[in-house]
Amino acid sequence: MEIDLTKKNILVTGGSGFLGKYVVQELINQGVPKEQITVPRSKECDLRILENAQNAVKGQHIIIHLAANCGGIGYNKLKPGELFYDNLIMNTHLMEAARQAGVEKFVGLGTICSYPKFTPVPFKEENLWNGYPEETNAPYGLAKKMLLVQAQAYRQQYGFNAISLLTVNLYGPGDNFDPTSSHVIPAIIRKVKEAKKTNAATVDVWGTGTPTREFLYAADAAKGIIMAAKKYNKPEPINLGSGQEMSIESVVEKIIALYDFKGKIKWNPSGPDGQPRRALDIEKAQKEFGFKAETSFSLGLKNTIDWYDKNN
């Protein structure tokens, strides 16, 4: 059965963040009245405190849990303890509070970082437990993986309808461009723009450029999350991605071309490469709830750069 979200009170944790804003807008686009959407702010509602989580879920029918302490590879190397603790405790408290309150459905957002370091490409959901994650982001990936374990355990014991979605790297207008915590696309956009502005001969980029990644436009991700919230009610995790694998080197070259930067790329092999390859098998999402990414990488990248140039 498809859930009619227009008749539900919906809590969107992380709803004021990068992806959260897209999810809230997609809910509104689909006819959910604004007054039925609640977006708690972390300053007033620290979900690491159980009482706050319990207060947040009161009167809610659907929880879409996007809130996370996360960032790029440098941020993961710098704060593995915080990333493990914050995400594990936040997720655990919120789902337990939702169960106690009789919430109808819990949509938890996981991460591709939960997959084993050496997973056959494209990553299939059934391979999720076949090894340890890539070391630089293992604490974050494992903390998020426990959200899936909790969801399946609560479904088994309590009949609690909790689902888990695994996303690839997200990007788009409104992304985080802070160099201390940004992911690869905004980090490179910022570096190339600064190099262009200063007429630098080179742009410095971490790693070797050989690892591959898959990217999903945030507006597309939001549509997938809402489709799953409406239609998917099974215990197995579901991948959300674009189905397009590309090397970091090719991403850098595309950004350089869009900025018409004439300098050269200076790779820094002492910087971490992270997982060698990342790309998802996306067949289940299409089969189970009809999701398929709509935005081409070229268009999504141009929109992201245009937004950054306009706002910085």
Interior/surface letters 144-174, b for 16+ CB within 10 angstroms, e for the rest: bbbbbebbbebbeeeebbbbbbbbbbbbbbb
Q: Which residue has the tokens 């890539």?
A: 134
Contact at 8 Å (CB) between 75 and 65? no
The phi and psi torsions of 13 (rounded to 5 degrees) equal -75, 145
Q: Distance of alpha carbon 141 from its chain centroid, rounded?
A: 11
Measured distance between the N- and C-terminal CA atoms of the chain, rounded to whole angstroms: 45
Per the DSSP assignment, residues forming a β-bridge with 166 are: 110, 239
- Other beta carbons within 10 Å of 290: 11
Identify the active-site residue in 22, 75, 115, 140. Answer: 140
Report residue 248 as tokens.
């970091």
Q: Which two tokens stand for residue 10?
A: 């919906």
Is there a contact between 238 and 193 (Cβ–Cβ < 8 Å)? no
DSSP string, 138-194: HHHHHHHHHHHHHHHHHHHHH---EEEEEE-EEE-TT----TTT--HHHHHHHHHHH
In angstroms, rounded to a whole number, what is the distance separating the alpha carbons of residues 309 and 255?
13
Whether 22 is a known active-site residue: answer: no
For the purposes of burial, counting CB atoms within 10 Å of the CB of 5, is it exposed (0-12), middle (13-18) or buried (19 or more)?
Answer: buried
State how far the Cα of 81 lies from the Cα of 93, in Å rounded to an integer.
18
Residues annotated as part of the active site: 140
